Each structure stands twice: as C-alpha cells, then as structure tokens.
Structure 1
C-alpha cells in the first residue's frame, strides 16, 4: 500500500512538473541586420593616399593580399586591407585620406 501511495505521489509530481515546463515561453530575440557593404578592390586601384600609408615605415614589412571598400550604414567609407607578414595575417582599416581608422 505504501508503494502504491508513493508511486501515485511521484506520478502526480511528475505530471505537475511537465505542465509547468510546457508553460515556459521562448524569449523574443531581436536581430538587427548589418547594412554594411564590402566590395572587393584591386590593390593597384587603391587611392594614392592609402598606398602611401601601406608603404610607410610602420607597414612596409607587411604585404597586402586583398582590399575591400567598406560602406557602413551611416554612409561612412574606408578601405579594409588584409596584410601578411611571415605567416601572420592582419587587417587594417584605412580611410580614403590614408589615415588609419582604429
């Protein structure tokens, strides 16, 4: 008899927890789409100011491998240049005026 009462109590408890678990609602997640565009640019077509920055003492040991013109949602533009040096890679944001953007 004790086993029957304990079994009934266990089943009732399991039933209650199942009902409560089904009442949980998934949280709403808002995803904001990024309206940034990234257009490939040939290295030889980079503006002279950007080329000058890449040839400066600070970056002359790096070899540019790819470049992109990035336009943000607020219409600001810069060049994203991928650099390589001795197996290491890095990306550099450079404004059209040749100033490095941090």
Structure 2
C-alpha cells in the first residue's frame, strides 16, 4: 500500500511540474547597453582657443600635452580629453569647448 501511495504522490508531483514547465509566460525583454562613446584624435594645434588657454593656467601649465581627443558620449555631449605628461607621470584632463573642466 505504501508503494501505491508513494507512486501516486510522485505522479501527482511530476504532473504539476510538467504543467508548470509548459506554461507560457510573458517574454522577458533583455536590454544590453553598449558603450557608444566615440574618441576622435585631434591635433593639439587644432584645439579651441579656450581649451588652449586653460592648458596655460595653473596647475596644468606645468604639464606637457602629448595627445588630444574629441570624445562624444551616447547623449551627444562632447568634451576634449587631453593627455598630459610631467616627467614620468602621465594624466589626462577633460575640458569642454569653453575650456571648463568636465566631470
């Protein structure tokens, strides 16, 4: 008798599991964020005058600019990333077209 009850319980559980597995649920939307930031090289001599002026102020003027890039974010905002060097140290500065620091 125990075998019959256990078999019936097992079949009932298996039937419930099968019923749940075949239920159609709402599709889940999977969103993938892509980094759509673009970085275009810019000649140091072609930087806007306000950016050049900021590079000549303290404390940045002690550093030497080595490369510059125009960075465009996904939201279409832009800034200039200027790589700078002082001895063996390297860093980068982010400035908008008006020469103001960008966070």
Output the TM-score relative to the length of structure 1.
0.69
Q: Secondary structure at the match of 1:50?
A: helix
Output the TM-score relative to the length of structure 2.
0.68
Q: Secondary structure at the match of 2:66?
A: strand
Superposed counterparts of 1:26-45, under 5 Å: 31-45=32-46
Partner of residue 73, structure 2: 72
Larger Rg: 2
CA distance in structure 1 between the aligned counterparts of 2:32 and 2:56, rounded to whole angstroms = 40
Partner of residue 58, structure 1: 59
Q: CA deviation at 1:57?
A: 1.8
RMSD across aligned positions (CA): 1.3
Q: Secondary structure at the match of 1:60?
A: helix
Following superposition, which runs of at least 4 residues in structure 1 exceed 4 angstroms of deviation?
none
**Structure 2 residues without counterparts, runs of 5 or longer:** 1-29
